[in-house]
Amino acid sequence: MTTELVPIDRDGMRAATRKGLIGAAVLAVLTIIEYFVAISLENPLLALLPFVALKGWIILDVFMHVRQVFKEGGH
């Protein structure tokens, strides 16, 4: 159990927070555009694939830190 007080790196936390907020905002915008594209096209499959791929990559990269896996000692 951690009981000692450790100072918080506020700048580092602010930068990481900003990265997450930008990622989430882009995801939200893509989701809304994806929805309107889907309801306005007769057969939207091909038009929506880039949205799915981009949203998936943002979650993998920004939220899941997938690049850690490919870095030497990346944790």
Contact flag: residue 7 with another protein (CB under 8 A): yes
**Interface residues for another protein in 14-73 (CB under 8 A)?**
16-17, 20-21, 23-24, 27-28, 31, 34-35, 38-39, 43-45, 48, 51-52, 55-56, 59-60, 62-66, 68-69, 73
Max Cα distance, the chain (Å):
61
What is d(CA 23, CA 62) in angstroms, rounded to the nearest whole number?
Answer: 7
Name the residues that contact another protein, by CB under 8 A: 1-3, 6-10, 12-13, 16-17, 20-21, 23-24, 27-28, 31, 34-35, 38-39, 43-45, 48, 51-52, 55-56, 59-60, 62-66, 68-69, 73-75
